[in-house]
Amino acid sequence: MKRFWGFVLKEFLHIFRDTRTMLILFGMPIVQILLFGYVITNELKDIKIAILDQSKDPVTIELTNKIISSGFFILDRNIKNMKEVEDVFKEGNVRQVIIFESGFGRKLNREGIASIQLIADASDANTANLVVHYTMAIIGDFVREQNKLTGSPIQFIPEVRMLYNNELKGVYMFIPGIMAMILILVSAMMTSISIVREKELGTMETLLVSPLRPAQIILGKVTPYIALSFINAVTIIIMGNLVFGMPVQGSIILLLAESILYILLGLSLGILISTITKTQQNAMFISLFALMLPTILLSGFIYPIENMPKVLQWLSLFMPPRWFITIIKNIMLKGTGLMYVWKETLILIVMTSLFLGLSIRKFKIRLE
């Protein structure tokens, strides 16, 4: 045991003395979150909208002015009837059409209730979602102001329709996605590189000739990355919460346990990669191409799985991040317990044991 910890200590020394490794380990998660968070999802400025006002009364005019003067939206045009809605979207500039029902102000005065329809072009899902949320916020604000003025409660019923992409993937998608990507990258890529480095330097031989058992060597190489990946997971959860308001509705313990399971999966993948590669560069390329791209493209992180061709949907079944994203989205957003994600958890466990088994076999063959 003492032998083992001395070896783990050395592994930590390697990591802490290498600025590049430290940057990848701790800089990357933070940069990624901020990048995805701000650049990709939150930029909303001068979005073109069209308005179909079937009522044209003081209330709709005031609300229209409020929406346009918010700075987020530009009125591209006023349209006359429902038929034009489709044309407007097909031209491609307008992202949202706001429709006031006829007699809007009258209904509001008489019944205290009126309907607005928001139709968004959801071919760009994230933007569509944001556009709608912003519009609703402005309408909500307007309702509150009106209530203060009149004293009698009024109510708008916004009806939202997402065109072209009903299965809207929300803004909260990116934090589980980033977590899935970074954890697998750190645990698989970093471990495979660090194991292969020992092979390249020839120190692996020295270690194999020593009384350390092969399993101890691998475990020793992997232990620091378990710790560091875990710190990464916690950082991402905290940053997601503080900076972007990503909630954790469910059990935090379950969330962390699932993260550890996923980290172990990444590590076993990393070990497998290290058994089939001879140079650090190879290990890095395999990790990047086999892990990062599929994580981004096939896990449902950015592109909804439901919209993929059947073949890719099948392929995505073999992507560990897909299952992990489903699990943590459920825990974080819906607050579900293990009861609802046990299937996905089981899949991750099976994958982990498969990768571990394969790498043990590979490792033994190499030693023969």
| Residue numbers at the binding site for other proteins (CB under 8 A) | 2-3, 5-7, 9-10, 13-14, 17-18, 201-203, 205-212, 367-368
Residue 204 or 298: which CB sits closer to other proteins?
204
User: Which residue, 191 or 316, has its beta carbon nearer to other proteins?
Assistant: 191
Q: Name which of 15 and 308 has its Cβ closer to other proteins.
A: 15
Please list the helix, strand and coil fractions of the chain in percent, rounded to the nearest 5, in that order: 70, 10, 20
Q: What 3-state class would DSSP assign to 99?
A: strand
Token couple for 326: 């489903």
The residues that bridge with 113 in the sheet, in sequence order, are: 155
| Closest distance of CB 368 from other proteins, Å | 6
Query: Where do we find the tokens 């809605």?
Result: 85
Nearer to other proteins, 20 or 90 (CB): 20
**How far apart are the C-alpha atoms of 360 and 309, rounded to whole Å?**
35
Q: How far is the CB of 14 from other proteins (least distance, A)?
A: 6
Residues 179 and 259 sit within 8 Å (Cβ to Cβ)? yes
Please report how close the Cβ of residue 18 comes to other proteins at its closest, in angstroms.
Answer: 7
Question: Nearest-CA neighbor of 220 among 267, 258, 265?
Answer: 267
Q: Least distance (Å) from other proteins to the CB of residue 322?
A: 37
- Considering beta carbons, is residue 95 or 199 the nearer one to other proteins? 199
Report, in Å, the least distance between residue 48 CB and other proteins.
Answer: 55
102-129 burial, b at 16+ Cβ within 10 Å, e below that, comes to eebbebbeeeeebebbbbbbbeebbbbb
